[in-house]
Structure 1
């Protein structure tokens, strides 16, 4: 008899700052999630078009280097892949950055608390919502 193989659980990090992205990756590598790093929302969407079924957790900066920002990315992910637990992060002015974020997307100001990031990743692995 065949055995059902569960899809790989992946955390997708979207951050243009190399050092911050590396810190997030090192933190999330402490979980059961495989970590994939991207430097822009467009790069993340390219990855998701092929691997969305593997992604359980999206951790993205609101500020992005190209045309699409983190809020746009979160909206797209919520529409196309609603099972992906999404957390957006940002600095200085929380009110400006958090405006327009979908209700089921968490906003975490930078510097983000490591324990809260790990708890969100854990929630992502507790089951998919599709």
Structure 2
């Protein structure tokens, strides 16, 4: 499966904290990306299996519930859907960020709105 060409890509926000998820989604709605939210790595993977060709950007927390954390998610995305730009965020030290694939960007919490928007805009430019 290759990269799809689309006019308006999707930003997938993967965060278990509903307040942070809502904040990131509201920010990303200011871009040309359509926003989809997921509360776990498994939920994000389910979505990606169906709609990965439309996804341009994933913004995910490292610490997620269940078995697939943000690092595992980034590694799976890098292997299966390498065109998707990924930003992984965490506020805790020792969150396995050394295991992130080179294609993923790490952004420490608290993240700045401008940094999130710049990363999203870069994903839009890359997928245009």
TM-score normalized with structure 1 length: 0.90
CA distance in 1, matches of 2:127, 2:121: 12
Counterpart for residue 104 of structure 2: 105
Unaligned regions of 5+ residues in structure 2, if any?
none
- Structure 2 distance, partners of 1:13, 1:66, is 17
CA contact (8 A) 2:9 2:34 kept: yes
Q: How does 1:68-107 map to 2 (within 5 A)?
A: 68-93=68-93, 95-107=94-106
**1:61-104 Cα distance to aligned partner (Å, 9 max, x none):** 000111111000000000000000000000121x5441201112
RMSD: 1.5
| Number of the residue aligned with 1:64 | 64
Contact 2:9 2:56 in 1 (8 A): yes
The answer to whether the 8 Å contact 2:56/2:124 transfers is yes
**Deviation >2 Å, runs of 4+:** 5-8
Which stretches in structure 1 are left out of the alignment for 5+ residues?
none
Q: Radius of gyration: which is bigger?
A: 1
Alignment length, in residue pairs? 124
Report the Cα distance in structure 2 between the residues aligned to 1:66 and 1:97, rounded to whole angstroms.
Answer: 16
Question: Tell me, what secondary structure is at the counterpart of 2:126?
Answer: coil
